[in-house]
Structure 1
């Protein structure tokens, strides 16, 4: 499941080695640490850091973590025996330079460019956290909601066209990952 990938730093720690599905694309420059699981056809783009040294990070199928994003989690604490793992469902989009930390992003959730989602926050299915927004600890976005601002609050419900646009984005990243993977293979052989 996890194989050596050119230009990617994969670091086992505390008895956990990242598990990356063979069909997942992880771009050069990424660092994947500890208890990380990346599902089929997902993509982690250039210069991302996924650090699961104190809890776990799970990324479902066909999800993408775009360039420069940081993914982390928090350990158990007194009164919080579960800690704050980072759980990302299937078909999720995480925009460039986002920071997702110990939260849950349900299937088809969207995190905009430079947005922040904090511990125990939830981004519902087909929901969108706007670019630059900050979803504070424990806030829960319902399905098909758009939240924005710092701190983020509900702005409106998303219509079918917005949902369709997010699904097009998922398909684009799944396809584009195949092209980048092939280009990296060619460059490695040159």
Structure 2
């Protein structure tokens, strides 16, 4: 009798279920920082792309770039091109419109040796070489930042606005502040050199022998 009761209890007992937040129940099982969209594949040279960044669709990233934590680059509507030695700081979003009312290209093009600060939004704009965009800035569709200019932190560049070369603009909407001279350019060059050093250091962690062994006990 006891044996029959144990058999019935085993039959009635449900197997333990894993918690609902386990990968078995998730629709998307893991984060992919390089995600193709149809036949559009992100392409990058020897660049550091943080594991928490999301690069989607038609995106081209040149060598020696740094794409840091939480950055989202969406090449799902039009393409995004980032040339060599440009650094996109954490939590910046880069995306594109389908078209612009002016008839100009709705792509995002970022030149050589640029620094885009944290928490910025870049939307279908063109940024020439050696441009520094301050943290928290918004660059809207059709805007163009010419070579060597600087945008102050928290600024908004309206649609279609042209920022001339080697000038500092800031505010919401941006206004002219001053011309930039050699000391500011030297300081910006030092900042870029530091970012390049950091990007190379981070990239080494993904090679066959990283730095973790240095701290083994």
Please indicate, yes or no, whether the TM-score normalized by the shorter chain is above 0.5. yes
Going from structure 1 to structure 2, the CA distance change for 1:140 and 1:24 (only over 3 Å counts) comes to same
Summarize deviations over 1:68-117 as a string: whole Å, max 9, x none: 1101111136763x541110000000001111111111000110011110
Q: Find 1:167's aligned residue among 143, 168, 189.
A: 189
Q: Find 2:40's aligned residue among 1, 6, 16.
A: 16
Q: Normalising to structure 1: TM-score of the pair?
A: 0.89
| In the alignment, structure 1 residue 143 sits paired with structure 2 residue 165 | yes
CA contact (8 A) 1:108 1:127 kept: yes
**Residue of structure 2 equivalent to 1:92:** 114
For 1:78 and 1:168, locate their aligned partners in 2 and report how far apart those are by CA, in whole Å.
Answer: 39
CA contact (8 A) 2:139 2:156 kept: yes
For residue 37 of structure 2, give the secondary structure of its aligned residue in structure 1. Answer: coil
How many residues are treated as equivalent by the alignment?
183
Summarize deviations over 1:102-140 as a string: whole Å, max 9, x none: 111100011001111011111111100100000010000
CA contact (8 A) 1:75 1:83 kept: no
Q: Report the structure, 1 or 2, having the larger strand content.
A: 1
**Residue of structure 2 equivalent to 1:68:** 91
**Deviation of residue 28 (structure 1)?**
1.4
**Residue of structure 2 equivalent to 1:52:** 75
What RMSD in Å do the two structures reach over aligned CA positions? 2.1
RCO comparison, higher one (Cα < 8 Å, 6+): 1
Q: Find 1:115's aligned residue among 125, 137, 155.
A: 137
Q: Normalising to structure 2: TM-score of the pair?
A: 0.79
CA contact (8 A) 2:42 2:60 kept: yes
Going from structure 1 to structure 2, the CA distance change for 1:118 and 1:69 (only over 3 Å counts) comes to same
